[in-house]
A and B are shown apart, each in its own frame.
Chain A
Amino acid sequence: MKKWISLLLFLSFYVSPLMAQEEVELFGYFESQIMGAKIKSDFNQLYSNKLRVDIKSGFYENVTFAANFDYITYHGKTEWNVLDFLSSGITSKVSQDMESYYVIPFSDRNFLDNAYIRLTFENLDLTVGKQQISLGTGYVWNPMDVFNIKDVLDPTYEQPGHNAVRMDVPLGSIYTLTALYSPEDTWRNSAKLFRFKGRISHFDYSLIAIEKLWRFHDYTQLDTTDTAFPELPEKRRLLGASTAGELLGLGVWAEYGYNKMENSKDFHELVVGTDYTFDFQTYIMVEFYRNTLGKTDFEQYNINDWMRQFAAEQKAISRDQIYSFIQHPATDFLSMGLSSIYSISDNSLALVPTFNYSFSVNVDIMAYLNFNFGREGKVFAKNTGNGGLLRARIYF
């Protein structure tokens, strides 16, 4: 109740006066979602409701202010223990008194997801504040993106905002230089990024250098206060490149990142993808992803690998995987699709039938099911929770 009051206060005090000015736009969406997964003999369900309110304004010429406020409530099974999804070979090594620490809670949240000001000068754009940072050309995986990790079952969902000062300098009509600073507690721990984007013939390309503190955890022990897993922050320096274009009529893209680590072993990531739309409107896509941080043998997976994947600290735990997607518009507003994610390294497969229905001009209904076909202990093992998701979203 208190949170609803905060939201109303936010809307009344901040948004209403802004709306009085003609330049301010107010929009957003309400989303209701149910997600389910089979764990042992039970089908567990998590419901969520999300209200996103966006405001965007050009107060003055060449000055843009944009922000969005998210309010999310969770119901049903709001605590999921990762151990429930793992093989006995992994869980048997976890002491009983630590089991409760592997719970991922879903608590009601309300927060300012993005809030930034963009100053547009003749020769550069300066964006200051909490903003989305989207890097790379990959559809499901982005080796160049050290800020976000996409959900492989729902890769187009919006990513959270990050505090940053960003400068985009166009160099003619083809080239752009981007510099970004994402502040942390100290200069050393803050993320720095430089990117150069250009075009050769029908191919876009970019070169990138990033330095960022990678905050992953050691999930095998508790910290000195015995309340949480200890953080293992480590400086990560990435050099990467990406391209996207067309070859022999096919859409093609590639993305590469070499990661130099301060303490642990260096690793690299690679994405190569292609897509095509047939005359009968069917769309197909295939994307290959290699992450040398991933393991080649599923028997090497440990609790740290699994937890880092569930906590979105690491993109994949198996080395090589292929994502494929086929979609066909069954009617004007209904699209049926099927995606599959195959781990080449451990020979396991997830099939994800998808359904997108535009109920009305501002109402979308989306659903997917996921079925895993792999032996226990593999990435897509049968016991890792076959399930699905149903989402309805109304835009305003």
Chain B
Amino acid sequence: MKSIIISWLVILLLATVSFSQQLSGEDIIQKVNELFNPQTSYGKAMMTIVTTSGSNRTFVYESWSKDKGEKNLVRYLEPSRVKDQATLMLNHADDIWMYFPRTQRVRKLATHAKKQKMQGSDFSYEDMGGGDVFITDFSPKRLEDEKMEDHDCYKLELTRKPNVDISYSRLIMWIIKENFVPIVIDYYDEDDPDLSEKRLVQSDIRTIDNIPTAMKVVMYNKNDNTQTEIELLEVKYNIPLDDEMFTERGLKK
């Protein structure tokens, strides 16, 4: 009996190793994309920008997403300067609207606006995801597996597809084998694929509603020597969200 169990364990182990070796770059990035885009989600987050002078600036915002990231809404709660300012992204962020409460004006933005920094942070709207850019804008290539931040990781190189208007020429991504959370992402310069511009590090991974979630995300900007930390204060997945929330009416609420 004991030998049967051992045989099964060996088979299972081999199958797991074989499975992980068989996964192509496309398979892995597809799983990462699925993880990033649950059916619906709600989050409340605190974003802290550490400036070049070392001082901190803090923003608090809420975000909602629906239809696996096809619809996204972000609304600022703090500070007063940006309170109630909101951004609606539909069609995987191909359509963007911003609401400015002081002028009560909704402005439709073109997708190039995603390149702008989010409140002066090291995250651009593009970096904040909102959609499946890893799939649509990049071609994945699996590199040799590596250990990163004490995790066994898949290592992927994502190269920008031709004629895609995105700010990075390539990304290098370390993805935890166990849960497909990208623990580190290096972003390379638009024109110089050897120049690493920014590094994103995810940590404090907890399982919430059966979805592994990094509760802390830090973006290090190597050019400016600044960093921005996003700490999730609250997360919920697969909650009922009304479609009307993702309309101009919902944006202005």
Q: Chain A residues near B246: list those with CB within 8 A.
A: 173
Query: Which of A131, A276, A329, A361 is the most central at the interface, judged by chain B CB atoms within 10 Å of its CB?
Result: A361
In the complex, which residues 84-113 of chain B have their Cβ closer than 8 Å to any Cβ of chain A?
Answer: 91, 94-95, 100, 102-105, 107-113
In angstroms, Cα B183 to Cα A385, docked, is 58
Stretch at the interface among B26-34, B50-58, B132-140, B232-240: B50-58
Stretch at the interface among B115-123, B174-182, B207-215: B115-123
Are A27 and B83 in touch, CB under 8 angstroms? yes
Of B108, B112, B224, the contact of A332 (CB 8 Å cutoff): B224
Chain B nearest Cβ from A345, distance in angstroms: 28
Give A334's nearest chain B residue, CB to CB: B120
Q: Chain B residues near A159: list those with CB within 8 A.
A: 103
Interface string of A236-266 (1 = CB under 8 A from B): 0000000011100111110000000000000
Chain A nearest Cβ from B222, distance in angstroms: 14
In angstroms, Cα B104 to Cα A134, docked, is 7
Chain B nearest Cβ from A248, distance in angstroms: 10
Q: Chain A residues near B165: list those with CB within 8 A.
A: 249
Q: Chain B residues near A280: list those with CB within 8 A.
A: 190
B193 on the A face (CB < 8 A): no
A60 on the B face (CB < 8 A): no
Are B104 and A253 in touch, CB under 8 angstroms? no
Give B78's nearest chain A residue, CB to CB: A361
CB contact under 8 A between A176 and B80, given known A159-B103, A202-B95, A332-B49: no
A283 on the B face (CB < 8 A): yes
A277 on the B face (CB < 8 A): yes
Of A244, A283, A332, the contact of B120 (CB 8 Å cutoff): A332
Of B95, B100, B115, B244, the contact of A278 (CB 8 Å cutoff): B115
Are A277 and B244 in touch, CB under 8 angstroms? no
CB contact under 8 A between A245 and B103, given known A277-B115, A332-B52, A395-B80: no
Give A157's nearest chain B residue, CB to CB: B103
CB contact under 8 A between A396 and B80, given known A132-B103, A173-B247: yes
Give B104's nearest chain A residue, CB to CB: A132
Which range contains the number of A residues in contact with the other chain?
35 or more
Q: Chain B residues near A244: list those with CB within 8 A.
A: 107-108
CB contact under 8 A between A358 and B117, given known A244-B108, A395-B79: no
Chain A nearest Cβ from B52, distance in angstroms: 7
Chain B nearest Cβ from A138, distance in angstroms: 11
Interface string of A160-173 (1 = CB under 8 A from B): 00000000101001
Are A245 and B51 in touch, CB under 8 angstroms? no
Are A277 and B112 in touch, CB under 8 angstroms? yes
A281 on the B face (CB < 8 A): yes
Give B113's nearest chain A residue, CB to CB: A277
Are B120 and A176 in touch, CB under 8 angstroms? no
Q: Chain B residues near A329: list those with CB within 8 A.
A: 117, 120
Of A134, A250, A360, A361, the contact of B105 (CB 8 Å cutoff): A134
A96 on the B face (CB < 8 A): no
In angstroms, Cα B81 to Cα A29, docked, is 8
Give B114's nearest chain A residue, CB to CB: A277
A224 on the B face (CB < 8 A): no
Chain B nearest Cβ from A97, distance in angstroms: 42
Are B116 and A281 in touch, CB under 8 angstroms? yes
Are B58 and A361 in touch, CB under 8 angstroms? yes
In angstroms, Cα B109 to Cα A250, docked, is 10
B203 on the A face (CB < 8 A): no
Q: Chain B residues near A361: list those with CB within 8 A.
A: 57-59, 79, 81
Are A362 and B80 in touch, CB under 8 angstroms? yes
Interface string of A179-200 (1 = CB under 8 A from B): 0000000000000000001010
In angstroms, Cα B83 to Cα A395, docked, is 10
B243 on the A face (CB < 8 A): yes
In angstroms, Cα B198 to Cα A142, docked, is 40
In angstroms, Cα B107 to Cα A245, docked, is 10
Q: Chain A residues near B167: list those with CB within 8 A.
A: 279
Are A250 and B110 in touch, CB under 8 angstroms? yes
Q: Chain A residues near B224: list those with CB within 8 A.
A: 332
Are B247 and A245 in touch, CB under 8 angstroms? no
Q: Chain B residues near A364: list those with CB within 8 A.
A: 81
B149 on the A face (CB < 8 A): no
A218 on the B face (CB < 8 A): no
B39 on the A face (CB < 8 A): no
Chain B nearest Cβ from A273, distance in angstroms: 11
Give A197's nearest chain B residue, CB to CB: B248
In angstroms, Cα B249 to Cα A183, docked, is 25
In angstroms, Cα B49 to Cα A329, docked, is 16
B226 on the A face (CB < 8 A): yes
In angstroms, Cα B134 to Cα A267, docked, is 50
In angstroms, Cα B159 to Cα A1, docked, is 66
In angstroms, Cα B59 to Cα A362, docked, is 11
Task: For the A-B complex with A251-B109, A275-B112 known, give 19 more contacts whose Cβ atoms are closer than 8 Å.
Answer: A27-B80, A137-B108, A168-B249, A170-B244, A174-B247, A202-B94, A202-B95, A249-B112, A249-B165, A276-B110, A277-B112, A279-B167, A280-B190, A281-B116, A331-B52, A332-B49, A332-B120, A333-B120, A361-B58
B residues in contact (CB < 8 Å) with A: 49, 51-52, 57-59, 79-81, 83, 91, 94-95, 100, 102-105, 107-113, 115-117, 120-121, 165, 167, 190, 224, 226, 243-244, 246-249
The 9 closest A-B CB pairs, nearest first, are A251-B110, A395-B80, A244-B108, A246-B110, A134-B105, A395-B81, A277-B112, A132-B104, A279-B190
